């Protein structure tokens, strides 16, 4: 048995029963990293102290009773990877950008503090599209991440490094961030589980901001059980994040047999790969055979989601990235003659093309004469999209559809066509605009390329998503 191939749940049981040591578990993941990372480029930084931390955990373990001890933290000794836009104290945090190439984080993000509290071992920082701007992890200043199932294809983005690390058994779970599908889309491409919680249930403190009203941290894992374990560890209110929900509403959990699933007809229209549709439809039929209730619904505002998203996001980007001026932190150009040249040259040399593109788009939409025409109108559309979901959830409990319209595309296929690249997120962006929770789970493969199935739930009803996703996961794996 290779410990790196275990799930979080399995590894926790094996550690508790002393069948494997934490050192063995971490060592096996480090061996997988050594074997695969040169080719896949999933990790930007491997933590040298992870093995030392593992040895300390083994010493701690002797203080816990054997087997099922409720005293053992849920993630005790579990190697977790972290997307490189989440701060880990005293570790470099690049956000995939040259402008932060040597930036050392001065504190832990709240989610990192919580992982440590639950006993996790942080094994390294994973690659991403620069400042999380992209759908393929090809925009990273440190080279693209490749798909573990086919290294000629993308891993998805922007959390492609985290998804690839989990899929290649280079960690047991990982954190990503999701602004418009950046956890779910790479999970779909790499054949992992990716969960985006309700906006506000997980603190964003210590996450390098892209679009603050949409960004949300969440887990990428091998199974739904594992995603739930990490989510429960990192969720909860935070005084450092004014948008976090301090007192989460009590979940209205339903029995699986009582859940009604909605199929949005807009998710099965033009643009969806016929082979991907076939995989999703096959799962739906198997669920119907198991007695699951379905209802076809319509989300009329769906077609406006992508347009609204790509007005709102660049606007927030242009504001958030103004802080990278070559003065306060990050890269500073040394050959400037005056202050304005410091700003211009530092940003010109430090930012990549996609970041510059979005800053310019955002600055334009926020400028006098265009603010009302574009930004305010996009925010109104956002409200309509949220109201559309609310109406749908009066009739059903969960929405089901594809996560992505295709399987992973070839490296370089969409890099010269930004609009085509943006369409990779067509089924995911509306969820972020509305602040909803959603999960992507593997729904089989086309050839050797994974297909993802997406479940979207009501606000704060994560438990129903996990319950349904576990049921579907079992149906799919029993084929």
DSSP 145: P
Q: Are 86 and 132 in contact (CB under 8 A)?
A: no
C-alpha to C-alpha distance for 293 and 458, rounded to whole angstroms: 17
User: Burial level of 255, CB count in 10 A (0-12/13-18/19+)?
Assistant: exposed
Tens of pLDDT, residue by residue over 359-373, are 999 999 999 889 999
Query: How high is the pLDDT of residue 69?
Result: 56
Query: How high is the pLDDT of residue 254?
Result: 73
**Per-domain boundaries in the chain:** 3-234
C-alpha to C-alpha distance for 197 and 243, rounded to whole angstroms: 14
Predicted structure pTM score: 0.96
Structure tokens at 390: 């609310």
Question: For residue 160, how many other CB atoms are within 10 A of its CB?
Answer: 38
Question: For residue 428, how many other CB atoms are within 10 A of its CB?
Answer: 30
The residues annotated as belonging to the active site are: 83, 158, 182
Q: Are 205 and 107 in contact (CB under 8 A)?
A: no
C-alpha to C-alpha distance for 96 and 352, rounded to whole angstroms: 10
| Residue 61 to residues 21, 98, 174, Cα–Cα distance (Å) | 9, 41, 23
Work out the angle at residue 199's Cα, subtended by the Cα atoms of residues 380 and 353, and round it to the nearest 5 degrees. 75
Q: Nearest Cα to 154, choosing from 135, 174, 168?
A: 135
Using DSSP's 3-state secondary structure scheme, residue 294 falls into: strand
Q: Return the percent helix, strand and coil in the chain, to nearest 5.
A: 45, 15, 40
Using DSSP's 3-state secondary structure scheme, residue 454 falls into: strand
Using DSSP's 3-state secondary structure scheme, residue 291 falls into: coil
Residue range 3-234 forms a domain whose CATH class is alpha beta
How confident is the prediction along the chain (479 residues), in pLDDT tens digits per residue? 899 999 999 999 999 999 999 999 999 999 999 999 999 999 999 999 999 999 999 999 988 877 655 689 999 999 999 999 999 999 999 999 999 999 999 999 999 999 999 999 999 999 999 999 999 999 999 999 999 999 999 999 999 999 999 999 999 999 999 999 999 999 999 999 999 999 999 999 999 999 999 999 999 999 999 999 999 999 999 999 999 998 877 667 777 778 999 999 999 988 999 999 999 999 999 999 999 999 999 999 999 999 999 999 999 999 999 999 888 888 888 788 888 888 888 899 999 999 999 999 999 999 988 999 999 999 999 999 999 999 999 999 999 999 999 999 999 998 888 878 888 899 999 999 999 999 999 999 999 999 999 999 999 999 999 999 999 999 998 75
Query: How high is the pLDDT of residue 319?
Result: 95
């Amino acid at each position: 048995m290779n410990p790196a191939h275990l799930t979080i749940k399995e590894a926790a049981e094996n550690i508790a029963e002393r069948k494997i040591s934490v050192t063995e578990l971490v060592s096996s993941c480090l061996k997988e990293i050594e074997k695969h990372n040169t080719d896949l480029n999933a990790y930007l930084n491997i933590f040298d102290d992870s093995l030392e931390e593992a040895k300390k955990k083994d010493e701690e373990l002797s203080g816990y009773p054997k087997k099922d001890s409720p005293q053992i933290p849920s993630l005790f000794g579990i190697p977790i990877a972290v997307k490189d836009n989440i701060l880990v104290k005293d570790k470099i945090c690049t956000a995939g950008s040259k402008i932060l190439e040597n930036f050392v984080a001065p504190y832990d993000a709240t989610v990192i503090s919580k992982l440590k509290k639950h006993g996790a071992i942080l094994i390294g920082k994973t690659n991403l599209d620069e400042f999380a701007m992209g759908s393929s992890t090809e925009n990273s200043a440190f080279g693209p991440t490749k798909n573990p199932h086919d290294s000629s294809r993308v891993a998805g983005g922007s959390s492609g490094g985290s998804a690839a690390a989990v899929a290649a058994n280079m960690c047991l779970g990982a954190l990503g961030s999701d602004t418009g599908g950046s956890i779910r889309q790479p999970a779909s491409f790499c054949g992992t589980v990716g969960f985006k919680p309700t906006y506000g249930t997980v603190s964003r403190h210590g996450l390098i901001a892209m679009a603050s009203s949409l960004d949300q941290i969440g887990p990428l894992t091998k199974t739904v059980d594992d995603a739930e374990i990490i989510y429960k560890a990192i969720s909860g209110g935070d005084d450092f994040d004014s948008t976090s929900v301090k007192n989460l509403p009590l979940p209205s959990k339903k029995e699986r047999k009582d859940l009604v699933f909605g199929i949005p007809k807009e998710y099965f229209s033009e643009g969806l790969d016929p082979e991907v549709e076939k995989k999703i439809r096959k799962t739906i039929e198997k669920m119907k055979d198991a007695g699951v209730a379905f209802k076809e619904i319509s989300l009329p505002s769906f077609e406006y989601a992508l347009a609204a998203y790509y007005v709102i996001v660049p606007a927030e980007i242009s504001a958030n990235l103004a802080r990278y001026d070559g003065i306060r932190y990050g890269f500073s150009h040394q050959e400037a003659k005056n202050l304005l040249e410091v700003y211009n040259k530092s940003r010109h040399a430090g930012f990549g093309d996609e970041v510059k593109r979005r800053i310019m788009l955002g600055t334009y939409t926020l400028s006098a004469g265009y603010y009302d025409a574009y930004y305010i109108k996009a925010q109104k559309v956002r409200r309509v999209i949220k109201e559309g979901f609310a109406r749908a959830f009066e009739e059903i409990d969960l929405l089901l559809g594809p996560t992505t319209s295709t399987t992973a595309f070839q490296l370089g296929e969409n890099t010269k066509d930004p609009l085509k690249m943006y369409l990779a997120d067509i089924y995911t962006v509306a969820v972020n605009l509305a602040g909803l929770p959603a999960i992507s789970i593997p729904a089989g493969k086309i050839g050797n390329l994974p297909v993802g199935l997406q479940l979207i739930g009501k606000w704060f009803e994560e438990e129903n998503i996990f319950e349904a996703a576990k049921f579907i996961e079992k149906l799919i794996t029993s084929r």
